[in-house]
Amino acid sequence: MEPETSKNQKFPYLALLLILTVVGVYFLFNKPSTTATDTNTANVQTTVDEQEEPEPVTEEATQIQNEVKIVIEGSPYKFSPNTIMAKVGDKVTVEFKNVEGIHDFKIDEFNAATKVIQAGETDTVSFTVDKAGVFEFYCSVGEHRKMGMVGTLKVE
């Protein structure tokens, strides 16, 4: 025969079940509002009441927020700076200034290249980064790439 459980022994389990249910319902219906900040574009997204309508974002504003402009100088066997940071979807504009020698600027993965230019000249190339990763840019003149005239584009 099985021993009978008294009602007093079931009481702690029922009380615990009731407390867990109340706590679960409380957290289900009292979620805190969330805010998110993108440090690159300085946009803040907050929860919006049903009565308010969000302001429309113009295409021009979006393009300005997603544009990375950088000036890179080329001299014998080096770029300065030699690292570029961007995010997927950004339009990157590189103004390449040749300080000394004959050089160009190329990134194969984005089919981006300047003309080969002489010392004192400048050329500009723009491209949109559509994938994340680390990509090498380089000078394609002669053996310059092998001699260390390379840099890195880091896309998050």
* pLDDT value of residue 75: 96
Residue that wins the pLDDT comparison between 65 and 150 = 150
* pLDDT value of residue 138: 98
Residue that wins the pLDDT comparison between 133 and 26 = 133
The CATH architecture that domain 66-155 belongs to is Sandwich (2.60)
pLDDT digits (tens, 9 = 90+) for 20-70: 888 877 777 776 554 444 434 343 344 444 455 555 544 444 444 589 999
pLDDT digits (tens, 9 = 90+) for 63-100: 445 899 999 999 999 999 999 999 999 999 999 999 99
Instruction: Report the chain's mean pLDDT, rounded to a whole number.
Output: 80
Instruction: For residue 151, give the nearest of 133, 137, 135 by alpha carbon.
Output: 137
The amino acid occupying position 125 is: V
Sign of CA dihedral 87, 108, 143, 141: negative
Tokens linked to 2 = 């099985």
Sign of CA dihedral 130, 135, 139, 142: negative
Residues ≥6 apart with Cβ < 8 Å to 71: 94, 95, 97
